[in-house]
Amino acid sequence: MELLGFPATQWLPFAFASLMGFSILLYVILDGYDLGVGILTPLAGSEEERDMMVASIGPFWDANETWLVLAVGLLLVAFPSAHGLILSTLYLPVFVMLVGLILRGVSFEFRVKARAKYKALWNNLFFIGSLMTSLSQGFMLGLYVMGLQFTPLTILFATLCALGLTMGYAFIGATWLIAKSEGALQVDAVAWARKSILGAAAGIGAISVATPLVSERLWNKWLSFPEALYLAPLPILSLMLLSILWRGLETHPRGEGVRAWIPFISALGLFTLAYIGLAYSFYPYVVPEKLTIFEAASAPESLLIILVGAMVVVPTILAYTILAYWVFRGKTRELRYD
Amino acid sequence: MMDALILSRIQFAANISFHILFPTITIALGWFLLFFKLRFQWTGDLKWMEAYRFWVKIFALSFAMGVVSGITMSFQFGTNWPGFMESVGNIAGPLLAYEVMTAFFLEAVFIGIMLFGFSRVPNWLHTTATFLVAFGTTMSTFWIIVLNSWMHTPQGFEMVDGVAFATNWWEIIFNPSMPYRLAHMLLASGLTVSFLIAGLAALRYILGDRKETVRSQIRAGLTFGALLIPIQIFAGDLHGLNTLEHQPAKVAAMEGNWETGPNTPLVLFGIPDEEARTNHFEVAIPNGASIILKHSPDGVVPGLNDFVAEDGTVLHPPVAPVFWSFRVMVGTGFAMLLLSWGSLAFLWRRADDGRRFAIRRLPKPLLWALVPMALSGWLATLAGWYTTEIGRQPWLVTGVLDTSAAVADVPAPMVLSTLIGYLAIYAALLFAYLSVVVYLTIKARHGEPLTELTPGSGAAVVDAITRDGGAGPRAIPAE
């Protein structure tokens, strides 16, 4: 089956790589902000403030995390050999991430349902789980950028990425809190955003500088003419967004209205730009320098049957996700079952 | 030192055993919540809303446990079993993808509205959200059972260079064991929740909580349990006959039958010995297995010795675990039958005021027996899954893929360390889960009965149900 003159073995892997890329981007942004809020919880000024922070993500976190399941699911179904190769190489960091996801996922429930005296324990586990998840994801990102090689240098770089992504998540989490909270918590969130933005910017900068140095292919992809010219908007827009954020956070966006959303939306833009840069670097590889999306793809018949479903289902998912954000719009209120 | 294969198998078995506990609750509990909500809307009786509010907490907790352990499994396909997807990924992939797309997002999005949206959205939307969460859990069951059944009774594909390619999706989805397995699992979930509801409500009753909602929950749990268990026994029998047709070695292991032949006895008890290829201390009903499996005393029933290759290689599953799991499952099922029908028989007798179904007519021993039976569904479900999954060995996909061919090339010590990590976490979480369920139950006994339905955070008004409509439900005092 052809599409626009491309055979199915060409366009289907590309379509699936795009769909998977879309899921990963949504995951990083959406679970990014709720992981970030989790990372920030120890900084809460009071138990009420902490409850409010958790309440701001309570109705959303589960759906946010499902984008990870979809992304891994797509990797599994569309690029099965890459899935096995990547995940068995990253065996231990994946384990750490899963333990983190388990701890924070159940802590949402346990911290409010267990006896009051255990709440502090579950609060701690919620924080630790969020931290383990984001550190391990950053570590895996770093190793992936380095071509999934374990050398002292790549491990050092991956460790830096772990810290960078964690700061990035804390940052987008803080901007989410600016939008969803008011009063003392909002003032705190502004302060947290101003600190974490530095870490996030350093992380993005480190990956940007390191990427062309990893291989000659990446050097040429980024720094030869005229590609460098076409790519120039990525760093330029990123720097613009950073300066908007920096100055916007200086003037303490407060209260109701759209203004409180500006930091979050700018953070979203920043994450998206960084992500596009990464996607550009790796295309067409799904396992860096080893396996392209065309080599790793499943049978076209199997991909087609998923794609048909995805064309119907993914827009529906987006529609009811928007419904959920609409239902829980406005400043966060206490979460209650009644 | 055990090798990576056996460690990975133990790790996956631990993971999936832990995981299945929670979907077994949430699949049916979602429908029970809808039942409670609709009963409230139809009768206006707040006891049903009390039931809803108590069980929605258990649902939320169980759901979170199911989600996190499920995510772990989806990653373990890649970390420990890459051969599975490399070999049958073209079949398993689309089925898993449809599960994520049609079920996971539906549940994940609407559970937020179901849990926290009561005072924010119109009542119809809250009821719809409750329905969609229940529907989502059932869809998820459907897809995963399709995949699991296909692994037991694969069809609709062809093998090219060791890789399966789909030829007929209809045959893949409606593979021979799928309808039976799906019915068996959905009924298992219904029974698990029926006895969980009856059991925890009985605990509250014993602790002195005589609220109307507690008594109604005992009645509802017992009634659904009594209705479902005969259907389950019937569905289980059909599933067994289906297995006999497609996986005779599994049935031979379940029955503990070594020699193929007519007039095969039904082994009630025995200790299977694979070395000696016989059962010790056997207690059996003559012709029993032939009658059950072939509906005739001289029906020929397959025996395990048929599944040993010329060179002595054993091609049937390990006998003892399958034999015992099967007996635990069936035994628990019959305990459910006795307890639910026995209790209903006592409840049927009129109380002093001439009314039937008064919980105080239930004899103490029966009431007490309900409490441990709260976990009977878990026991039966786990035993049932062990029967069918261990019964599939040595195959991962029957006739297509060996379990040993799918395992990852990860060093054994690494698998051992993660296995220990998972086991520790699962043990701790299971303890925490059970403690919190008991704590919530005990705490609920101090709660006052609901007298009016006031929206908690005050923004939206609970519309339809609070309005005094003539034909509608009884008016509830508004704020």
d(CA A130, CA A169): 10
* B273-293 as b/e: b if 16+ CB within 10 A: eeeeeebeeeebeebbbbbbb
- Residue identified by tokens 């701890």 is A103
Interface test with B, best of A12, A88, A148 (most B CBs within 10 A): A88
Q: What is the pLDDT along chain B (479 residues), one digit of tens a residue?
A: 578 888 988 999 999 999 999 999 999 999 999 999 999 989 888 889 889 989 999 999 999 999 889 888 888 877 888 888 888 888 888 898 888 888 888 888 899 889 888 888 888 889 999 999 999 999 999 999 999 999 999 999 999 888 888 888 999 999 999 999 999 999 999 999 999 999 999 999 999 888 888 989 999 999 999 999 999 999 999 998 899 889 988 988 998 888 888 888 888 888 888 888 888 888 888 888 888 888 888 888 888 888 888 887 888 889 889 999 999 999 999 999 999 999 998 888 777 777 777 777 788 888 999 999 999 999 999 999 999 999 998 888 888 888 888 888 788 888 898 899 999 999 999 999 999 999 989 888 887 777 766 544 333 333 333 333 333 333 333 33
What ipTM was assigned to the predicted interfaces of this complex? 0.85
Neighbours of B449 (CB within 10 A): 11
In angstroms, rounded to a whole number, what is the distance separating the alpha carbons of residues B388 and B99?
Answer: 22
Residue with tokens 């384990």: A95
pLDDT value, residue A319: 85
**Cβ-Cβ contacts under 8 Å, A98 against chain B:** 71-72, 75
Report the C-alpha gap between B346 and B366 in whole angstroms. Answer: 10
B454 and A338 within 8 Å at the Cβ level: the answer is yes
pLDDT given at position B430 = 94
B105 contacts chain A (CB < 8 A): yes
How far is A83 from chain B, CA to nearest CA, in Å?
6
B408 shares contact with chain A (CB less than 8 Å): yes
Q: Taking CB atoms and an 8 Å limit, are A114 and B439 in contact across chains? A: yes
Contact, A158 vs A144, CB < 8 A?
A: no
| Three-class SS state of B391 | coil
Place of tokens 């490399």: B86
Q: Do A94 and B64 touch (CB under 8 A)?
A: no
Please count the residues of chain B.
479
Provide the shortest C-alpha distance from residue B429 to chain A (in Å). Answer: 8
User: Do B283 and B275 meet the contact criterion of CB atoms below 8 Å apart?
Assistant: no
Which of B391, B456, B85 shows the shortest CA–CA distance to A336? B456
The pTM of this model reads: 0.88
Contacts with A213 (C-beta within 8 Å, 6 or more apart), sequence order? A219
Helix (H, G, I), strand (E, B) or coil at B301: strand
**Three-class SS state of B314:** strand
Give the integer Cα–Cα distance in Å for A49 and A34: 15
- Distance from A240 to chain B by nearest Cα, in Å? 34
B457 CB near a chain A CB, below 8 Å? yes
- Residues B109, A321 contacting (CB under 8 angstroms): yes
B153: helix, strand or coil: coil
Minimal CA separation from B243 to chain A, in Å? 28
Helix, strand and coil in chain B, % to nearest 5 = 70, 5, 25
Residues 6+ apart with CB under 8 A from B76: B11, B12, B15
Report the alpha-carbon distance of residue A93 to residue A158 in Å, rounded.
11
- Burial of residue B366, with CB atoms counted within 10 A of its CB: 0-12 exposed, 13-18 middle, 19 or more buried: middle
| Regions in chain A scoring below 50 on pLDDT | none
What is the structure's pLDDT at B335? 94
Give the number of other Cβ atoms within 10 Å of residue A119's Cβ. 17
Residue B165 backbone phi and psi in degrees, to 5: -120, 135
Query: What is d(CA A307, CA B380) in angstroms, rounded to the nearest whole number?
Result: 38
Q: Please state, in angstroms and rounded to a whole number, the distance separating the CA atoms of residues A281 and A297.
A: 19
Tell me which chain A residues have a C-beta less than 8 angstroms from the C-beta of B456: 336-338
What is the spatial distance between Cα B416 and Cα B414, in angstroms, rounded to a whole number? 5
First-to-final CA distance of chain A:
53
- In B274-385 the beta strands, taken as DSSP E runs, fall at 278-285
Q: Across the interface, do A310 and B71 touch by the CB < 8 Å criterion?
A: no
Q: What are the strands, taking DSSP E only, across chain A? A: 285-287, 291-292
From A84, A314, A336, residue closest to B82, measured CB to CB? A84
Name the closest residue on chain A to residue B56, using Cα atoms.
A337
Question: Do B125 and B117 form a contact (C-beta atoms < 8 A)?
Answer: yes
Q: B445: how many CB neighbours lie within 10 A of its CB?
A: 16
Interatomic CA distance for residues B380 and A160, integer angstroms:
49
Q: How many distinct helices (H) and strands (E) make up chain B?
A: 15, 6
pLDDT digits (tens, 9 = 90+) for B243-271: 988 998 898 899 888 888 888 888 888 88
A320 contacts B418? CB cut-off 8 A: no
Task: List, as one string, the DSSP characters of B204-249.
Answer: HHHTT---HHHHHHHHHHHHHHHHHHHHHHHHHHHHHHHHHHH-HH
Record the tokens describing residue B297, joined without a space. 């005393």
**Contact (Cβ atoms closer than 8 angstroms) between residue B150 and residue B208:** no
> CA B100 → CA A69, A94, B189, distances in Å?
7, 20, 21
Q: How far apart are CA B174 and CA B238, in angstroms?
A: 16
A106–B97 CB contact, under 8 Å: no
Nearest chain A Cα distance for residue B424, angstroms: 11
Q: Is B179 exposed, middle or buried (0-12, 13-18, 19+ CB in 10 A)?
A: middle
Interface contact A69, partner B, CB < 8 A:
yes
CB contacts under 8 A, B 128-187 vs A, are: 163, 165-166, 169
Enter the tokens of residue A241: 């967004």
Structure tokens at B8: 């990975």
Distance of CA B334 to the CA centre of its chain: 17
Q: Which residues, in sequence order, are bridge partners of residue B272?
A: B279
Asked if B122 has any chain A CB less than 8 Å from its own CB, the reply is: no
Please give the pLDDT value at position B478: 35
Inspect the interface and report whether the beta carbons of B94 and A305 lie closer than 8 Å.
Answer: yes
User: Which contacts (CB < 8 Å, 24+ apart) does range B30-33 have?
Assistant: B30/B59, B30/B130, B30/B133, B30/B134, B30/B135, B30/B136, B30/B137, B30/B138, B31/B134, B31/B138, B31/B190, B32/B193, B32/B197, B32/B220, B32/B224, B33/B59, B33/B114, B33/B130, B33/B133, B33/B134
